[in-house]
Each structure stands twice: as structure tokens, then as C-alpha cells.
Amino acid sequence: MKKILLTTTLSFFFGQILLAQINATTDDGKKVLLKENGTWEYVQEKINETTETTELSSDCSNYILTETDKMTGKSSTGAKETLIISQDGGKTGFGIFALNSSNSNALILSIQAVGAGSCIDDDNKINILFRDGSRLELYNDGKFNCDAKMTLYFGGIFGKKKQLNELATKEIETMRVWTSKSYVEKDFTSEQSKRLMKTISCLMAE
């Protein structure tokens, strides 16, 4: 099906403009370059690096949001959106949400792991490989659950300030989250790594 759609796209564009290279997108979201001689190739990742750099600003309002509960009057600050790490449309991967806890003066990372069973125990762990080659191992601070949810607490009474600083200053290359059944492992793009770093840094500064 993808080949048919791509062929149709190629025929259309070459019928309209024969002398220019054209950027196009396949039905699964991949970018390709249509050449004059009728061939095509995938656009290299480096073409997107400039876009990623311009999209990531230093303004914390782009990453975190403070909301006030109308009923209680209490404020809470967290990420503006859940960071999704998946290459197959969410069938496997992670959803990572960061927020500050006003009760315990801690920063919380809530990680939803999809693709390796739904039960997570209090002794399940996360293995993190940073792009500089260093590694970090963390254990679930939350209770046993079968919602595929792992919770990590940093700062305040929970300590782990050194580990939190690593997450705020180093790009993650790969993360592996263990469940009671198996594990989910995914690579981060540079944009995803930097977005998580900036979100954590902004929450630490609150």
C-alpha cells in the first residue's frame, strides 16, 4: 500500500514539475526527496536537526505549566505534555510525565511502559544509557500495580539529587524499563532527550 501511494505521489509530482527536486512525505510520515531522474531517497536525519534546534527554546513556559485547583486553591506544576517515546505509534514504548510534588518538595517522574506486561513491582528497575556512555540504574519508588506505571521520586526526603542532576544535564540515548514479565527498551531522539532535560531543569528551578 505504501509503495502504491508513493508511486502515485511520484507520478503526480513528476507530471507537474520535471526539472526540480521535491520534498514529499509518505503515508507513514517518512520524508523523501524526489529526484529529477525519477528516483527517490529518504531525507537524512541531519536535515531535521536545524528544525529540532529552533523548536527547543530556553523559555520554561514551553515545557512546564502551573495550574491551580479551583476547589482547593492549591497549585501544581508539571510538564505541559507527556513525552511519548515510541517508534510504532504507541504499541510499545514509554509515556513520561514530570511534575513537582508540593506535599513532599520532590520531583516526580511517572513512566508508563507499554509492550512488556502491565504489572510493575516495587523492585523493578530502569536502566538508562546516556549519550556520553555513562549509565544510571533506578528502582521503582511506587507501589506494586498492574497499570504498567513506574514512579520515581527525587529530592526532598527522597534524596537522589545526583541522579536527578544527571537526568537534567545528560542526553538519554536508551532507556529500558523492567516489568514483572519482561522489559521495554527504546532509543531517544536528540529532540526527545533535550525536551526531557529542559522539562526537568525547569521543574528543578521552580
Taking only the tens place, the pLDDT of each residue in 67-87 is 988 898 888 899 999 999 999
Under DSSP, is residue 7 helix (H, G, I), strand (E, B) or coil?
A: helix
| Cell (9 digits) for 74 | 492549591
Asked whether residue 47 carries a pLDDT value surpassing 60, the answer given is: no
CA 164 to chain centre: 17
Q: In which band, very low, low, confident or very high, does the pLDDT at 15 lie, cut at 50, 70 and 90?
A: very low
What pLDDT is recorded for position 46?
Answer: 41
Output phi, psi for 26, to 5 deg.
-75, 170
- The residue extents of the domains of the chain are 2-43, 50-205
Q: Are 193 and 172 in contact (CB under 8 A)?
A: yes
Asked whether residue 19 carries a pLDDT value surpassing 90, the answer given is: no
Give the residue from 90, 80, 111, 95 showing the smallest Cα distance to 198: 80
Q: Give one word for 142, left, alpha or beta, with left for phi > 0 and alpha for psi -120 to 50.
A: beta
Non-local (6+) Cβ contacts of 26 within 8 A are 2, 5, 6, 9, 32
pLDDT tens for each residue of 149-163:
999 999 988 999 999
How wide is the angle at C-alpha 85 spanned by C-alphas 5 and 115, nearest 5°?
90
What pLDDT is recorded for position 64?
Answer: 95
What pLDDT is recorded for position 57?
Answer: 75
Has this prediction a pTM greater than 0.75?
Answer: no
Instruction: Map grid coordinates 520535471 to a residue.
Output: 18
Give the residue from 107, 96, 99, 80 showing the smallest Cα distance to 175: 96
